[in-house]
Amino acid sequence: MLRVLFLYLLICAVTEATCYYLAINKMHNYFVRHIFTVLECSVISIIYFLHFRAKEVRNFIKGFYLTFFALCLIILLFNKGYNEPDNILSSYEACLFIILSLYFLYKEIKERSVPRLNEYYFFWLNSAILVYFGISFFVFLFSVLLEKSDLKIYNFFKAFSLMVNITYNILLTVSIWKIRKN
């Protein structure tokens, strides 16, 4: 699991560096963001796929991911292309991870299979995913409206989004620390 998380963090770092480079050179970064969304969905799907052992849950992950990939091809290749923002894919991805993270919490509350949940790395990883994608889902849905709103409102939500990213990274760090501790 640590290798998969490392791969994810590497993808995040390369994406951020590339987007920063494109931004300072006044170039669109939509192409990079679209690739990141596909890679992010792939890696996090693998994380949940490795965690859940039930065949039904694994089949759900496979079906949702294959549908996500089909949407990528339809939206990005045939509809809008790679040089425009697209929140449908991000919202769909967020839905998958909200469902999986809530299912994990439901399963743990129901079965209580982990005696000390706060010591379990996947609890922290799952919490990071739920916080990030749960809040980001609403930002994705309303991003077009936010871009057209008053600058103060836009800046508030941008700052809020950055705080969510910081929280996400802290929870991911705790998760990695818990893996290393055990």
Instruction: Report the C-alpha gap between 68 and 93 in whole angstroms.
Output: 7
**Is the distance from CB of 52 to CB of 61 less than 8 angstroms?**
yes
pLDDT band at 153 (very low <50, low <70, confident <90, very high): confident
At 144, is the pLDDT very low, low, confident or very high (cuts 50, 70, 90)?
A: low
Task: Indicate the range of 35-39, 156-160, 173-177 predicted with least confidence.
Answer: 156-160
Alpha carbon distance 126, 98 (integer Å): 9
Query: Residue 182 — very low, low, confident or very high, per pLDDT cuts 50/70/90?
Result: low
Q: Look at residue 114 and give its three-state secondary structure.
A: coil
The model's pTM = 0.86
Specify the pLDDT at position 83.
62
Helices of type H across the chain = 2-24, 30-51, 55-72, 87-111, 121-147, 151-181
Q: How far, rounded to the nearest angstrom, does the alpha carbon of residue 171 sit from its chain's CA centroid?
A: 13
What pLDDT digit, counting tens, does each position of 32-70 carry? 888 888 999 999 999 999 999 999 999 999 999 999 989
**Structural contact between residues 125 and 169, judged by C-beta atoms closer than 8 angstroms:** no
Say what the pLDDT of residue 86 is.
Answer: 65
- In angstroms and rounded to an integer, the radius of gyration of the C-alpha atoms of the chain is 17
Query: What pLDDT, on a 0 to 100 scale, did the predictor assign at position 21?
Result: 92
Residue 124 to residue 94: CA distance in whole angstroms: 18
Domain that holds residue 31: 2-181
If one counts the domains in the chain, the total is 1
The percentage of residues in the chain with a pLDDT greater than 90, rounded to a whole number, is: 37
Task: Check if the beta carbon of residue 11 is closer than 8 Å to that of residue 39.
Answer: yes
Tokens of 31: 């192409």
Residue 116 three-state SS: coil
pLDDT of residue 20: 87
